[in-house]
Chains A and B, each alone.
Chain A
Amino acid sequence: VPPTSTADTGGTRADAIGAHGGLAGIVARVGSIHPAAADLLLFAAVGLAYAAGSLVAYSWFGAYTGPTFFPSVGVTVGALVLVGSGRRRAVVLAAAATAEICVNVFHGGLDVAPAAGYALANVSEATFAAFLIVAIARGAPVVERPGLGGLLVAVLVAPWLGGSIAAAVTALEGDVDAASYIGHWWLGDALGILLVGGGLIAAATEERRHGRFGGELAALVLASAAAAGAALWWDVWPAGYVPFLFTLVAAWRVGALGVLATAGVAAAVVAEAAASGESLFSATGIGPDAALVYVQVTIGVVVGTALVFVVLLHENAESRAELAASEALARELANEQAALRRVATLVARGASSDELFSAVADEVAGIIDIPVVGVQRYEADGTFTILGIAGQTRFTVGSRWPVEDDGIAGRILATGRPARKDDYSTLSGPLGRAVREDLMVSTLGVPILVEGGIWGFMIAAARPGKTIPEDVEQRLVRFTELVATAVSNATTRSELLTSRARVVSAADETRRRLERDLHDGIQQWLVALALRARKTASQAGGEESIRDEVSSLADDLVAVTDELREISRGIHPAILTDAGLDDALKALARRSPVPVDLKVDFEGRYDPTLEATVYYVAAEAITNAAKHARASSVSVRGGRRDGAVELVISDNGVGGADPQGGSGLIGLQDRVDTLGGAISVASPTGAGTTISLQLPTTLRGEAETSA
């Protein structure tokens, strides 16, 4: 049966693994030079190994019906499983058949016909075994369940085919006890497939664990062989089992190859002895023929048990390794999430740009283990500015660098996509020089995209002996998204603040002008009319009724003037513009219906909007204290402290004021926000109301526009 299509489908993984080492690897390499040479090499290697195995088997292990341990069939099965293509498998089978015939004819003295019959038996058996292994294992290594299953099924089943064909061939030559013949054939070939075939597959496919192949394996193999020899020489009953203890140790320490190698050597020693009538178990008193079967079965059972043990150990180790790997991954993700959360908190808090950018650089450097991490912004003049940087580097925050076309900055600006650069030997100009002096050999940059535009980029730079892992790009992207949000928020916020500040300041200016126009125009006119009326009244002479009428007109005009004055002051307090906060608040206190204890010292003049805000807050608080809180006294404290003006107004009223409750303070809140200040109201029921106001002395909106 040519092992063609079915074998090929399952062979992929074994091919891939086998191609890396051993004979299959050599064959594959030779094949890449010349296919025919590779076939020839494979033919020679398999043929020689087969012949050698047969000669050893007949010379050392030959019992009356055939070898007790037949390595050659194992060589054939191993080669069939491990070589890739159908053609190579044909080469293997041809080599095996040729070797079998040659050994039988030239060593065994048989005719060509029975020799060919035995070759057919062995080739069919090996093909069947390889088919079973490939179909069941599907390329899995022997240390995994399907791999071991395929091997064990092949060991148990395939030799019956070879034994049956061989029995038929022998029967043509003369009498044969077919059952016994097939039984012995099965046992010998089963050991050959298990130990040699399985050993070859294990050697090629088993994942190599450090330090487990080599010294330890050699020691175990030697110990096993020595124990077998000693047991034969000592010839006491329990000693026969000692060699197989090393097989179990090998299962634990080395794996499938260790099991097969130790058992293989021990089997070789005892099989050789058994063929010459000695038995490991002669001390038990069973006859040589039964002892032979006993040895074969014992070896098979021990090896099968040990391999199951290996599979279980391997699975355990693998799941532990998977667990450890997933734990490490989870830890890494958790760290990254924590870092992202800290940055997001800064973004949400509206932290200052300086703080945010250096925090981003530090957080990224903390989780990706790359020496230098930076956050940069593109400028309009073809440069970029470093806004935050972490790690030991000559690049400093605030420094500006030219955008070179073939540098990271230039490539990101041109493509809007992440860029990698691993060679800085040719980058010209001051940037190239600085990068070389800084020993950066490899850099990865990711763009920071803000509202569709390329705003800047983040960079990770590695020094010699350190490469930037693939996943760093994705991780950088997650941080650049946060940076983009922060930048976008800051820009929007700053634009909003500036625009609100413009609105408030324009409204204030309008009110100032309106008040002044009223004062300079209508107010003076009304006063003039009042004075004229008064003069007219005094000139009216004897006409008493006219005098009274004009006099009352004069009084009404005065009343209108007073009314207009109050309205004007409501529009804007002139004293604030003329004399500043201190005098304006004093005037406010004098006008208050509730006694005001005023201690303020604002030292000079401020932005008109700021002065108006402080004044309006004080006016509103005093009005509320009198109108709603039924307070009997109000205290006003104010002044300048650390670049901010502060105002605190407390009353002894009923408290319980709701700052959201429609008081005029709501309108003032917007004004305060516009100035980047803060206002708070504490009003516990029954314990008075305290209003605190802080305003920075420069307009925050303006200060942040540049950032």
Chain B
Amino acid sequence: MSLRCLIVDDSALFGDEARGLLEQDGMTVVGFAASGDEAVRLARELGPDLALVDIRLGAESGFEVARRLADLTDTASLKVIFVSTYHEQEFSDSIEASDALGFIAKTELSAGRIRELLGN
């Protein structure tokens, strides 16, 4: 069964390309959320296995969105991976402090990298 993935990003350009790339590699992108509220709603509705959360989500912080997703009791199996155009070094403290699986630079995004992190 393919991984069901929720993309949380305010850039539709990136979202579309990411979906194309990931679905090509056999993953399923179940939805897009451009805000924290939307992410929480869709996570509840769709029950994805994985959320790709942009660290800088418009005015919101991706870390805050990740916390809110982690707090959802009915989606206990939801994993979070941060994505960003920023270098991982920039935000490594916050990434380590979070419950997320890890970080993938947007330019490095691929199903392979995701499976790698999930495998860990």
Interface membership of A583, Cβ < 8 A: yes
Q: Which of A554-591 contact B (CB under 8 A)?
A: 557-558, 561-562, 565, 569, 573-575, 578-579, 583, 586-587, 590-591
- Say whether chain A's binding surface is mostly helix, strand, loop, or mixed: helix
B106 touches A535 (CB 8 A): no
Total chain A interface residues with beta-carbon distance under 8 A: 31
Contact A575 to B21, CB < 8 A, known contacts A524-B14, A524-B85, A531-B107: no
Decide if A561 touches B107 in the complex (CB within 8 Å): yes
Q: Does the CB pair A574–B56 fall under 8 Å? A: yes
Shortest Cβ distance from A482 into chain B, in angstroms? 52
Q: Mark A116-144, 1 if CB is under 8 A from B, else 0.
A: 00000000000000000000000000000
Do A565 and B93 touch (CB < 8 A)? no
Quote the shortest CB–CB distance from B48 to chain A (angstroms).
20
Determine if B24 and A538 form an interchain contact, defined as CB atoms under 8 angstroms apart.
yes
The answer to whether residues A535 and B85 also contact, given A528-B14, A579-B94, A587-B90 and a CB cut-off of 8 A, is no
Chain A residues whose CB sits within 8 angstroms of the CB of B58 once the complex forms: 520
Chain B interface size, under 10 / 10 to 19 / 20 to 34 / 35 or more: 20 to 34
Question: Is B109 on the interface with A (CB-CB < 8 A)?
Answer: yes
Partner of B61, one of A527, A532, A565, A578: A578
Is the Cβ of B11 less than 8 Å from the Cβ of A520? yes
Given the interface contacts A531-B14, A531-B17, A534-B21, does A591 sit within 8 Å of B61 by beta carbon? Answer: no
Contacts of B120 in A (CB 8 A): none
**In the complex, are the beta carbons of B109 and A586 less than 8 A apart?**
no
- Nearest B residue (CB) for A561: B107
Picked from B86, B89, B90, B107, the residue with its CB within 8 Å of the CB of A530 is: B107
CB of A237 within 8 A of chain B?
A: no
Assess whether B85 is in contact with A519, with CB atoms less than 8 Å apart.
Answer: yes
Are B20 and A524 within 8 A (Cβ)? no
Task: Please pick, from A525, A534, A587, the residue contacting B89 in the complex, using a CB distance under 8 A.
Answer: A587
Shortest CB distance B91–A (Å): 6
Check B109–A531 contact: CB distance below 8 A: yes
Q: Complex Cα distance A591/B91, Å?
A: 12
B39 beta carbon closer than 8 Å to chain A:
no
| B92–A528 touching, CB < 8 Å | no
Question: Residues 30-61 of chain B: 1 if any A CB is under 8 Å from the residue's CB, otherwise 0?
Answer: 00000000000000000000000001101001
Could you say which residues of chain A place their CB within 8 Å of the CB of B107? Answer: 527, 530-531, 557-558, 561-562
Which A residues lie within 8 Å of B67 (CB)? Answer: none
Q: Roughly how many angstroms separate A534 CA and B61 CA in the complex, as a whole number? A: 28
User: Considering the chains assembled together, what is the distance between the CA atoms of A330 and B10 in angstroms?
Assistant: 81
- Which 9 interchain pairs have the tightest Cβ spacing? A524-B11, A531-B17, A528-B13, A528-B17, A558-B107, A527-B106, A523-B85, A587-B90, A535-B21
Q: Interface on B for A, CB 8 Å cutoff?
A: 10-11, 13-14, 16-18, 20-21, 24, 55-56, 58, 61, 85-87, 89-94, 106-107, 109-110
Listed A/B pairs (17) with beta-carbon separation below 8 Å: A519-B85, A524-B14, A524-B106, A525-B13, A528-B14, A528-B17, A531-B20, A531-B21, A531-B107, A532-B17, A538-B24, A565-B85, A565-B86, A569-B90, A575-B90, A583-B91, A591-B89
Residues of A within 8 A of B (CB): 519-520, 523-525, 527-532, 534-535, 538-539, 557-558, 561-562, 565, 569, 573-575, 578-579, 583, 586-587, 590-591
